[in-house]
Amino acid sequence: MSALLTLGGNNGQASAINNSGQIVGFAENGIVDSSCPPNATNNRIQLPVLWKNGKAHPLALPTLGSDPDGDAFWINDQGQAVGFSGTCGGATVHAVSWENGTATPLPDLGTGAIAQGINNRGQIVGTVGSADNTTQYGALWQNGVLTNLGTLPGDFAAIATGINDRGQVVGSTWDSSFNWSHAFIYQDGVMTDLNTLFPASSNLYATMANKINERGQISGMATVLSGPDAGNIHAFLATPHTKAWDCRLRMSHLHDRNPMCPRMLANSICRDSDSSTSGDKGYFRSFAPCIPAIWCAKAQGRRLCGTRWVTRISTVTQNVHGKWPKTIHRMA
C-alpha cells in the first residue's frame, strides 16, 4: 500500500478507481480558500484530481469559471470523470464532467447540481436542485441532456448515485428533514421503491441504495426491522437471481413458434400472472430476458422466467414457489 500525494495541502481523498488504475478524488493545495466562511475549520482550497500511471502525485483537474473548489466522485473505463465544481461550503455548486483534462458543465435547473456516477456509455447520474431552490431531485444526463428523475411519492428530495451499463439507476430519497427515507431503482422511465421488491421476510428496510453493478447487484444501507438488532443500520447487498440461459432458450423457442411473444428488454418489472401469489410482489429482473406471463407464459400454463427477491441472512435461504432464490446479504 502506498500513499497518494496531495497538491501541497494536508488532506486528500480517493473516491473511485477504474479498470485502468486511474483514480479520482480531491486534494488540497494548502492555499487559504477565500470563499470559506470566517469560522470554517478546514479553509484550504480543495481541487478535483486524477492519479494515473501508478504515480503518487496527482494531476489537478480544472474547475469551472472562477470556482475555487471541486471534487471528482467517479471515473469510467474510458477515463471520463464526474463530480462538481463550486465554492467552499457548497454555496455555489455545478455538476461537471472531465475528459482529457477538459471540464464540461452539465445542465441544471438554475440552482446547481452534483454528478455522482458515470457508466461506460457516458450516462451520468447525480442530483439537481429544483428550480425554486427548495429541494433537489435525482438527475440523469445523457448526451448533454438533463432528465429530472424526481423523487418517490411522499418524499421530499432524492439523489441518484449509481448507474450500470444497462442504464439501471439506483439512489436514495430523503424526507423533509433530509433523513434517509427510501432506496430506489430507476429503469424504463420509472422510479421504484426497492422495498416494494423485497418480501417482508427480509427484515430489512432499505433507506439508501449506493451502487449497482453489471449483474444488477445493489449495495446500500438498510434499517433492521425486528429482532435483537432492530433499529440498527446495516449495509446490504441485494442480488437478483435468474435462470438466464434456460429462460433465453425457452423465450427464443416460443418466439419462433409465436411471433406475438416479443423479445423483451431485461430491465423491467413483470408479474407472474399464472401464480396464485401474483399480487404480492413484483419480480425484479436484472439481466435475463423474459416473456411476460400475460403474453405467453399464461397460454403455456407456466412461468417462463422471473426474478424475485428473497432473503438469506447467515445460512438461512428462503425460496419463492420452491425456486428462483434471491439473496440479500446483510453485512454487519
User: Could you list the mean pLDDT of each consecutive 10-residue stretch along the chain, which spans 332 residues?
Assistant: 93 96 97 92 95 89 97 98 95 96 97 98 98 97 97 98 97 97 97 90 94 95 96 92 41 39 35 31 31 29 32 26 34 42
Q: What is the pLDDT of residue 244?
A: 39
Q: What is the pLDDT of residue 199?
A: 77
Q: Is the dihedral of CA 167, 119, 122, 6 positive or negative?
A: positive
Whether residues 59 and 137 fall in one domain? yes
Whether residues 253 and 193 fall in one domain? no
306, 290 contact by CB (below 8 A) = yes
| CA–CA gap between residue 236 and residue 206 (Å, rounded) | 8
Strand 169-174 and strand 180-187: the pairing is antiparallel
Question: Does any domain span residue 77?
Answer: yes
Question: Does any domain span residue 325?
Answer: no
Whether residues 184 and 283 fall in one domain? no
Conformation bin of residue 244: beta by default, left when phi > 0, alpha when psi is -120 to 50: alpha
Taking the complete model, does pTM exceed 0.95, yes or no?
Answer: no
| CA–CA gap between residue 60 and residue 297 (Å, rounded) | 56
Supply the DSSP string of 107-169, one letter for each residue.
Answer: P-SSS-EEEEEE-TT--EEEEEE-TTSS-EEEEEEETTEEEEEE--TT-SEEEEEEE-TT--E
Q: What is the pLDDT of residue 1?
A: 86
Taking CA 269 as the corner, what is the angle to CA 266 and CA 272, rounded to the nearest 5 degrees?
105
How many independent structural domains does the chain possess?
Answer: 2
Q: What is the pLDDT of residue 198?
A: 84
Task: Mention every residue, 6+ apart, whose C-beta is less than 8 A from residue 208.
Answer: 172, 180, 183, 220, 221, 222
Question: Does any domain span residue 215?
Answer: no
Sequence-ordered alpha helix ranges (H) in 186-234: none
Task: Mention every residue, 6+ apart, whose C-beta is less than 8 A from residue 196.
Answer: 281, 282
Q: What is the pLDDT of residue 239?
A: 83
CB atoms within 10 A of CB 149: 23
Q: What is the CATH number of the domain that holds 156?
A: 2.130.10.150
Backbone φ, ψ for residue 122 (5° rounding)? 85, 10
Cell numbers at 157, concatenated: 428530495
| CA–CA gap between residue 291 and residue 104 (Å, rounded) | 41
Question: Does any domain span residue 269?
Answer: yes
Supply the DSSP string of 24-44, one letter for each residue.
Answer: EEEEEEEEE-TTS-TT-SS-E
Q: What is the pLDDT of residue 282?
A: 32
pLDDT per residue over 26-72, tens digit each?
A: 999 999 999 999 888 889 999 999 999 878 889 999 999 999 999 99
274, 195 contact by CB (below 8 A) = no
Polymer length in residues for the chain: 332
Whether residues 194 and 270 fall in one domain? no
Whether residues 154 and 291 fall in one domain? no
Q: Find the domain containing 302 and state its range.
A: 244-308
Whether residues 196 and 283 fall in one domain? no
15, 71 contact by CB (below 8 A) = yes
Please name every residue paired with 332 in a beta bridge, in sequence order, or none if there are none. Answer: none
Whether residues 300 and 171 fall in one domain? no
Q: What is the pLDDT of residue 302?
A: 32
Whether residues 39 and 164 fall in one domain? yes
Whether residues 248 and 195 fall in one domain? no
Which contacts qualify for 105-110: CB closer than 8 Å, 24 or more apart? 105/64, 106/141, 106/144, 106/146, 107/141, 107/144, 107/145, 107/146, 108/139, 108/146, 109/146, 109/148
